[in-house]
A and B are shown apart, each in its own frame.
Chain A
Amino acid sequence: MLGGQLISVLRREIVEEGDEKGVNSMGIRFVLLVNKQGQTRLAQYYAEHLTLDERRALEGEIVRKCLARTEQQCSFVEHRNYKIVYRRYASLFFLVGVDNDENELAILEFIHLFVETMDRHFGNVCELDIMFHLEKAHFMLEEMVMNGCIVETSKSNILAPIQLMEKAS
């Protein structure tokens, strides 16, 4: 009797742990865009409950770690319980925080896709484009990633709603 209870308790614990794991592993945790000076230019967090202070601290730590690395070093940095995959385009750094079991190389491709999409829309995108059209950059990202999962990989599909809206206005 007692043994049975114990087993059921154990099983419940295992299930709960499993749930936790399921919730925690979600692919992309955040997308961050910073310039060479380390100023944030775009930040989107997925299912990450950080207060303003925590967010600032996290961004500061990551930026310090990643911007100090050289071109030859690999594009992955482990920080806290994230893995940061980053890529540099001229003066802009794209930093994506992912779970440990995410495919790092695929995230590198994702960053490139994001940049290409913005390029197609803005035409050789630069820091100012993103700053002055922050909402559009967010709309594009929103079409590409939802809740940390990649949702669309075709540039024209991603840009379709934005172009439609521009036409309407």
Chain B
Amino acid sequence: MNPFSSGTRLRDMIKAIRACKTAAEERAVVRKECAAIRSSISENDQDYSHRNIAKLMFIHMLGYPTHFGQMECLKLIASAGFPEKRIGYLGLMLLLDERQEVLMLVTNSLKQDLGHTNQYIVGLALCALGNICSAEMARDLAPEVERLLLTRDPNIKKKAALCSIRIIRKVPDLAENFSSPATSLLKEKHHGVLIAGVQLCTDLCKVSEDASNHLRKNCTEGLVRILKDICNSPYAPEYDIAGITDPFLHIRVLRLLRMLGHGDADTSEYINDILAQVASKTESNKNAGNAILYECVETIMGIEATSGLRVLAINILGRFLSNRDNNIRYVALNMLMKAISVDSQAVQRHRTTILECVKDSDASIRKRALELVFLLVNDTNAKPLTKELIDYLEVSDQDFKGDLTSKICSIIEKFSQEKKWYIDQMVKVLSLAGNYVKDNVWHALIVAISNAPDLQGYSVRSLYKAFQLSSEQVSLVQVTIWCIGEYGEMLVNNVGVLQVEEPMTVTESDAVDVLESCLTHHSTDITTQSMCLIALLKLSSRFPPSSGRVKEIITTHIGSVVLELQQRAIEFNSIIQRHQNIKSSLVERMPVLDESTFISKRAGSSQANISTEKSNQQLPSGASLKLSNGVAKPAASPLVDLLDLSLDDTPVPTSTSNDFLHDLLDVGLTNSSSSGVASASGTDILMDLLSIGTPVQSNTTPENGSSIKAKPNTATVQVVDLLDGLASNGSHPGAQSPVHPSITAYQSSTLKITFSFTKQPDKPQVTQIHATFMNLSSEAYTDFIFQAAVPKFIQLHLDPANSNHLPASGNGRITQTFTITNTQHGQKPLAMRIRIAYKVSNQERLEQGQINNFPPGL
């Protein structure tokens, strides 16, 4: 049968697929077709293989797997007829890519076809090779391609040239073989050969310095002549687009001239005239002409052009920029970005137009314009530009605000010469788009405010004012809370009023109102709420008359379901209630934050956040405020020691209670476990706890950070006191013996073993381990035996297990208790090898493993 008329059934399949109303129906049709094609392939049905591949192409396009057709493509390629070969190669290019081993098999067929007498078959092979060849194939077949570059047929020549591009991209070492044949291609008349040859030369320039020197010497003249010819050529219907002869060739030649003229004064001078001719003569009322002008401008910017030529180019861009067609404006913005490094003065002249483009309704244009504006900002125009951008921020699209905000923030940070301007602009941005501001940006603002003692009053007042107008912007709220907490009295007493400020009266209760409204607002997140609590605590010390109200607000959070808030509320409540004498020193103002450390930290990691930042500094105030919290925070480096200590020492009996640290940690742990998260059977109580505590911690305010690294010995007395208070709050049961979390000692697909630990307080070396075995498979185990081995410094005593039969699917467990004595307790951790033997339907099974994840301190 004739393979070309096989479209009937292909047509049917397409119709069937088009008739499908749902994706599921389409999948079913495709599945059926694939099954038919598979069976047709396995029956080796030659008549249909052409049609099968055509169908697979369609199925592949729809996004279904078609790998089973790959071998069929190879068969078709190996057959003699042109139509079979053609569809085979097409299938090969679509269904395969160079990573697949199947490709190795095709090399031989390709080699044969490259030597074929029929020019169309050679063309097919070249095309396939050019699209998919791998580095190995490139090495194997490069000589054939070189030979074909020299044939007379233009159709083969052009394809061989493009094929060579792929080869030198894959194997740049081969570039030198191709540079002289590439040069000779430029002498051709056929446009296809010329365009392919020019592209080959461009790629040669990219991969090899030698080749580009060779081309510069031998080709520049020829290229200029080609350009001249097509510029001045009479009407050529075959290549004419809107009155211009072959704009594609124009563009490729201009691009190659750019590569050759780049950094080379002689070549640049030589091509000056022709570029001027193209730039001034090309019609700019059609897209094709503009495409050429665009490329020409880029070439003028890319070479060592004369100043006159550059002026011409910039003028073209100016014309583009004022064009009504958005496509033209887009490319103008794109080009101006490249031109800015060549002639920033000239680009500055278009600043107002560019700024207008930032406000365009088209997202692509806005994005380009914004990036360009960002490059245009310098010390002299930073202020007006920032003002324009901020004004626009108010009315811009929601999805553009993110980009716009981050660019504005970096302009403000980069070009702020005076702190007041910086603070003013940041407050504006925060109140307009605070939800889009990145954390490190507002952290930087806090650092800056903390470093400007004479502006602190002004800042807190402006923030207060801004907050009244836009309380929905998270980062504005957070900065405001922080500043009110720190500088609340400056707000109320109007400290450090600048001349420009309008006088305002804020009472103490107004300030507390702000915090209360934030704390209770439905959309406030935990971080903000935590910040509010700290700020409130600070205010209770700054405004003694309001202290009663603050206490009330804090008390309402003692029952908070969020562990972090509950804990803070309880602690702060106890501070207010019982520790008036130390409160003022606890909530002293934050020390000045080190700007340089912050900046370097921020440069190091864009995610740097302020609380870790501050833990690098040693500061004595605010000590021990939240030590119990600190225990739950392994991330803070100074605490790591402390934490280690805690886990090592908790087993030790509390008789050494003169060591306050013990108590402290004890409280820390048991206090948390009273909050309902922990239960004796939970595997990873501590881990759970930590993961709850950590994220909140790392985001919260500086106070938090500072308290963590407090040296315990600076406030010994207070701490003991403090904990006393906590203990008598009755917020936790009097758990005496330390808790070690249970671990999953071993887990496979069939078996899970968990260990839980108990210790007697007076024998730190001895640990009792309760092992629980669980069957995860669906078959019961019999004759279950557990064996364990330990290093020499550990003694092990195994008690008998309660059963040797383990029901399937976790429907029952075996427990076994054993006692270990670690003779080097505190120096070496526990380790254990285990071996489990059992029978499944009378088949013996064996599993082995090693346990290294014992909790420290055993």
Query: When the two chains form their complex, are residues B206 and A22 in contact, meaning their CB atoms are under 8 A apart?
Result: yes
CA distance A57 to B259 in the complex (A): 36
Chain A residues within 8 Å of B206, by CB: 18, 21-22, 25
- Chain B residues 707 to 722 lying within 8 A of chain A, measured CB to CB, are none
B837 in the interface (beta carbon within 8 A):
no
Which of B238-246, B264-272, B385-393, B549-557 touches A?
Answer: B238-246
Residue from B90, B241, B248 within 8 A of A142 (CB atoms): B90
B214 in the interface (beta carbon within 8 A):
no
Query: When the two chains form their complex, are residues A105 and B294 in contact, meaning their CB atoms are under 8 A apart?
Result: yes
Query: When the two chains form their complex, are residues A103 and B294 in contact, meaning their CB atoms are under 8 A apart?
Result: yes
Query: When the two chains form their complex, are residues B287 and A104 in contact, meaning their CB atoms are under 8 A apart?
Result: no
Chain B residues within 8 Å of A115, by CB: none
A149 in the interface (beta carbon within 8 A):
yes
Residue of B nearest to A100 (CB): B334
Chain A residues within 8 Å of B195, by CB: 150-153
Query: When the two chains form their complex, are residues A169 and B90 in contact, meaning their CB atoms are under 8 A apart?
Result: no
Q: Smallest distance from the beta carbon of B483 to chain A beta carbons, Å?
A: 39
Query: When the two chains form their complex, are residues A103 and B251 in contact, meaning their CB atoms are under 8 A apart?
Result: yes
CA distance A139 to B4 in the complex (A): 14
Q: How large is the interface on A (under 10, 10 to 19, 20 to 34, 35 or more residues)?
A: 35 or more
Query: When the two chains form their complex, are residues B367 and A78 in contact, meaning their CB atoms are under 8 A apart?
Result: yes
Q: Smallest distance from the beta carbon of B85 to chain A beta carbons, Å?
A: 11
Chain B residues within 8 Å of A26, by CB: 169
Residue of B nearest to A164 (CB): B120
Q: Smallest distance from the beta carbon of B281 to chain A beta carbons, Å?
A: 18
Chain A residues within 8 Å of B83, by CB: 165, 169
Query: When the two chains form their complex, are residues B159 and A52 in contact, meaning their CB atoms are under 8 A apart?
Result: no
Query: When the two chains form their complex, are residues B291 and A74 in contact, meaning their CB atoms are under 8 A apart?
Result: no
Query: When the two chains form their complex, are residues A149 and B196 in contact, meaning their CB atoms are under 8 A apart?
Result: yes
Residues of chain B at interface, number, CB under 8 A: 78
B62 in the interface (beta carbon within 8 A):
yes
CA distance A66 to B11 in the complex (A): 29
A110 in the interface (beta carbon within 8 A):
yes
Chain A residues within 8 Å of B783, by CB: none
A81 in the interface (beta carbon within 8 A):
no
Query: When the two chains form their complex, are residues B127 and A161 in contact, meaning their CB atoms are under 8 A apart?
Result: no
Question: 0/1 per residue, A54-77, Cβ < 8 Å to B?
Answer: 011001000000000100111111
Residue from A52, A113, A132, A152 within 8 A of B63 (CB atoms): A52
Query: When the two chains form their complex, are residues A146 and B207 in contact, meaning their CB atoms are under 8 A apart?
Result: no
A92 in the interface (beta carbon within 8 A):
no
Residue from A74, A113, A147 within 8 A of B326 (CB atoms): A74
Query: When the two chains form their complex, are residues A153 and B192 in contact, meaning their CB atoms are under 8 A apart?
Result: yes
From known contacts A43-B61, A139-B90, A161-B120, infer whether A110 and B248 are also in contact, taking CB-CB under 8 Å: yes
Q: Smallest distance from the beta carbon of A97 to chain B beta carbons, Å?
A: 14
CA distance A72 to B325 in the complex (A): 8
Chain A residues within 8 Å of B363, by CB: 73
- Chain A residues 94 to 119 lying within 8 A of chain B, measured CB to CB, are 103-106, 108-110, 112-113
Residue of B nearest to A26 (CB): B169
B364 in the interface (beta carbon within 8 A):
yes
Question: 0/1 per residue, A9-46, Cβ < 8 Å to B?
Answer: 00000000011011101100000000000001111101
CA distance A59 to B331 in the complex (A): 24
Interface centre among B61, B87, B329 (most CB of A within 10 A): B61
Q: Smallest distance from the beta carbon of B116 to chain A beta carbons, Å?
A: 15
Query: When the two chains form their complex, are residues A109 and B326 in contact, meaning their CB atoms are under 8 A apart?
Result: no
Chain B residues within 8 Å of A23, by CB: 169
Chain A residues within 8 Å of B666, by CB: none
Q: Smallest distance from the beta carbon of A131 to chain B beta carbons, Å?
A: 6
Chain A residues within 8 Å of B287, by CB: 105, 108-109
Chain A residues within 8 Å of B98, by CB: 49
Residue from B58, B90, B192, B330 within 8 A of A76 (CB atoms): B330
Chain B residues within 8 Å of A157, by CB: 155, 192, 238
Residue of A nearest to B255 (CB): A103
Chain A residues within 8 Å of B203, by CB: 22
Chain A residues within 8 Å of B238, by CB: 154-157
Residue from A46, A78, A154 within 8 A of B364 (CB atoms): A78
From known contacts A135-B57, A135-B90, infer whether A109 and B247 are also in contact, taking CB-CB under 8 Å: yes
B678 in the interface (beta carbon within 8 A):
no
A120 in the interface (beta carbon within 8 A):
no
From known contacts A104-B331, A109-B241, A147-B165, infer whether A153 and B249 are also in contact, taking CB-CB under 8 Å: yes
- If A149-B196, A151-B158 are given as contacts, then 5 extra A-B residue pairs at C-beta distance below 8 Å, sorted by A number, are A147-B131, A147-B166, A150-B195, A151-B162, A152-B192
Sample of 14 A–B contacts (CB below 8 Å): A22-B169, A49-B99, A74-B330, A103-B298, A105-B291, A106-B248, A106-B295, A109-B288, A135-B54, A151-B159, A151-B196, A153-B246, A154-B238, A169-B4
A residues contacting B by CB (< 8 A) are: 18-19, 21-23, 25-26, 40-44, 46-47, 49, 52, 55-56, 59, 69, 72-78, 103-106, 108-110, 112-113, 131-135, 138-139, 142, 146-147, 149-157, 161, 164-166, 169
The 10 nearest A-B residue pairs measured at CB: A105-B291, A74-B326, A169-B4, A73-B362, A146-B162, A152-B192, A22-B206, A74-B330, A106-B291, A56-B63
